[in-house]
Structure 1
Amino acid sequence: MNRILLSLSIFAFLLLGFGGTTTEAETKTEVIPQDQVPSLMERAFLRSLGGTILDIMSNHGDNQLFEFERIEKIVSRNVQYDVTLRVIGFEGAHGPPYKLIRMTIRIPGDKSADYSVLSYSRRHISERELEKLIKFAKYD
């Protein structure tokens, strides 16, 4: 009987002592409406990401400039943010061929850490598709 109690006591101690606690990460998602002109906050945030966007594009072989950037979605997980955005890449004097470039960037909450690229895709688009995409991306 004592051995059973001793075994149960040791098991309970190990379970409580080393079991640890689990914490679920709080996730919030905000989808940015694409049928409205970008807000001042969205424009300011995108301006701050301009150099980062160019670096990511260059690292993925798109050595060109971009315009008509838009944030599509932001997912917040505790202290980090996954930002999905799109830009229109162009060559020459804002001329074709045009590329729709989408990327998701993880912005960590740790000030010493750098961003990471979670996804990156690109495809050529026609001038007709360009007009649809930039209808609400133009602002003064």
Structure 2
Amino acid sequence: MPIEFAKLNKTVTITAVLALHWSVFWLLNGLDKFLNTDNFFGVDFKNKLKGPPDQDGLLANLGLGDGWAAPIAAIVGIIELVLALLFVGALVSLARRKADSSDAIAACLTLSILFFAILSAGAVLFGDRAAMEQHGIFIIALLASRVVVGKTAANA
């Protein structure tokens, strides 16, 4: 990758843009698990696990009761918020021009890929093909981000 492509407008690095994107992504996804109400944003993950009142949800596919929905949503939400904080920490490191900041962002991207692999396994177990497809798309986007961060750091 040419070195001039590593910066946008000669001030902001593509690494910073990617890290900002993924930190906001994880922050909003994490908050979604705790703040989801009728007037908030996102998918109601707990109700997706429980299912609509007239149908069984994803938990029923594994023979689990609706009582598992809130703890599962909380665990997933906490992990997503931790990933957001890790990306913010890596961004702060990047802003302070620390030498290992690209490595920190690459590690966050790798952790994100691993988390989506776990979510994908859950989607297979729950029989949620749509979620499986979405997780695959996010893994591809994270892998592309990881490659760009690696190439940008190598050219720095």
Select the structure that is richer in strand: 1
Select the structure that is richer in helix: 2
TM-score, normalised with respect to structure 1: 0.24
TM-score, normalised with respect to structure 2: 0.23
From the CA coordinates, give the structure whose radius of gyration is larger: 1
Q: Which has the higher contact order (CA 8 A, sep 6+)?
A: 2
